[in-house]
């Protein structure tokens, strides 16, 4: 018996479904507050020094945080090839817009303070705002479209055809999810600014973060109500083969008005995910208003965990439903890489992920402490 036989195909698929969620949540919980800081930059910083203070709260860590996005994309490519093929080709224009917005961030960080001109710096502040707002919005829009089903299909040779348009992605429910994403990450960014700054900047971050937290809870509840009343989910009606070949056309699927809530009815313990999403956001509001520093950041991460995991729990075993050809919908059981590929990737992940986490924790410990006005005004410090 070889080592890979210790984990069967079904178990490996489940593990990689969980790991995909971990990577997406890891990105939202780390680089998410970087995006949130960009969203709030024009509003919490009223002059050049204050905006430099805000930028330097994330200056040492944002590049490392963005690695989670690369890890997520790499995991999709290696573990879920059909998912990668459909999403990265069908959402090509949306991905291009995200990439353009993300490119504005490193350029903005490095060029903003190269000139003393206030108009020059204001222009880069707008670019940094776009670099935070646009990815946050489009990531949420993407999730909203996934919940509704994406217009693609396979032919009998498993060739992929995407039948949608970029503007078709900007439907009302998807935009609602996009606004929820913006509010959620703004809430998280405000908690980070409140932790890392003091004085007027921190006070503005607490006020804006409190409103963002309430908006997060309200939009999340509204999206849930709309999903319950008007959004049809997907349900497999044929026999489910959990260890078969990755061929999505070997099943039959139907639309069901309550399908996205069926897992909660079958396993009530899963309700902890949406509960954490709501209560975490409300706890951020309370702790920001009470002047706590670390607690809002931790509760923000808890809310992010609950909101994102509730999407995965609701849709399981679906990963990417098809609105054009129901049986083409991708699930955990029919869209993964081979058994050996998943096993080798798991071994690599078990070795290197703890190293990444340990190094990240060490970096945050070394860089702990507040960014103060005197540090920014001291020209001997290499600050943004």
> Is the pLDDT score of 346 beyond 60?
yes
> Is the pLDDT score of 2 beyond 70?
no
CA 21 to chain centre: 9
131 and 303 Cβ atoms separated by less than 8 Å: no
> Is the pLDDT score of 1 beyond 50?
no
> Is the pLDDT score of 3 beyond 70?
no
In a 13 Å sphere around the CA of 340, the CA atoms on its Cβ side amount to: 1
pLDDT in tens, 50-79: 999 999 999 888 888 888 888 888 889 999
In angstroms and rounded to an integer, the radius of gyration of the C-alpha atoms of the chain is 22
Identify the H or E element spanning 127.
helix 118-148
277 beta partners: none
Task: Please say whether the dihedral angle defined by the alpha carbons of residues 136, 177, 150 and 14, taken in this order, is positive or negative.
Answer: positive
Cα–Cα distance measured from residue 321 to residue 151, given in angstroms and rounded to the nearest whole number: 9
pLDDT in tens, 23-41: 999 999 998 999 999 999 9
Q: Which distant-in-sequence residues (6+ apart) come within 8 Å of 151 by Cβ?
A: 90, 162, 163, 164, 168, 322, 323, 324
Cα–Cα distance measured from residue 346 to residue 336, given in angstroms and rounded to the nearest whole number: 13
User: Which percentage of the chain shows pLDDT scores above 70?
Assistant: 97
246 Ramachandran zone, left/alpha/beta (phi>0; psi -120 to 50) = beta
């Amino acid at each position: 018996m070889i080592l890979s036989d210790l984990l069967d195909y079904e178990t490996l698929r489940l593990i990689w479904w969980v790991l995909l969620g971990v990577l997406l949540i890891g990105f939202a919980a780390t680089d998410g507050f970087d995006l949130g800081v960009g969203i709030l930059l024009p509003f919490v910083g009223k002059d050049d020094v204050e905006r430099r203070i805000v930028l330097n709260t994330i200056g040492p860590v944002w590049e490392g945080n963005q690695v989670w996005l690369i890890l997520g994309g790499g995991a999709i490519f290696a573990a879920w090839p059909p998912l990668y093929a459909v999403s990265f080709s069908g959402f090509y224009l949306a991905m291009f817009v995200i990439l353009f917005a993300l490119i504005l961030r490193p350029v903005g960080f490095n060029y903003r303070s190269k000139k003393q001109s206030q108009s020059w710096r204001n222009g880069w502040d707008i670019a940094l705002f776009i670099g935070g707002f646009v990815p946050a919005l489009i990531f949420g829009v993407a999730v909203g479209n996934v919940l509704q089903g994406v217009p693609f299909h396979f032919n009998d040779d498993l060739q992929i055809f995407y039948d949608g348009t970029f503007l078709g992605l900007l439907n009302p429910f998807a935009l609602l999810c996009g606004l929820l994403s913006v509010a959620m990450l703004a809430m998280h960014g405000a908690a980070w600014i409140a932790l890392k700054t003091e004085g007027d900047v921190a006070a503005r971050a607490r006020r804006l973060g409190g409103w963002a937290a309430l908006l997060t809870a309200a939009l999340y509840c509204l999206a849930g109500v709309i999903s319950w009343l008007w959004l049809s989910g997907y349900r497999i009606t044929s026999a489910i083969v959990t260890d078969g070949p990755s061929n999505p056309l070997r099943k039959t699927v139907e639309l069901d008005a309550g399908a996205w809530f069926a897992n909660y009815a079958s396993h009530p313990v899963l309700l902890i995910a949406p509960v954490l999403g709501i209560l975490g956001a409300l706890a951020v509001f309370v702790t920001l208003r009470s002047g706590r520093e670390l607690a809002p950041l931790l509760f923000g991460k808890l809310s992010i965990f609950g909101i994102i995991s509730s999407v995965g729990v609701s849709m399981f075993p679906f990963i990417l439903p098809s609105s054009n050809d129901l049986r083409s919908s991708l699930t955990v059981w029919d869209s993964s890489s081979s058994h050996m590929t998943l096993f080798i990737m798991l071994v690599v992940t078990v070795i290197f992920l703890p190293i990444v986490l340990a190094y990240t924790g060490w970096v945050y410990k070394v860089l702990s402490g507040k960014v103060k006005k005197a540090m920014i005004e001291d020209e001997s410090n290499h600050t943004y």
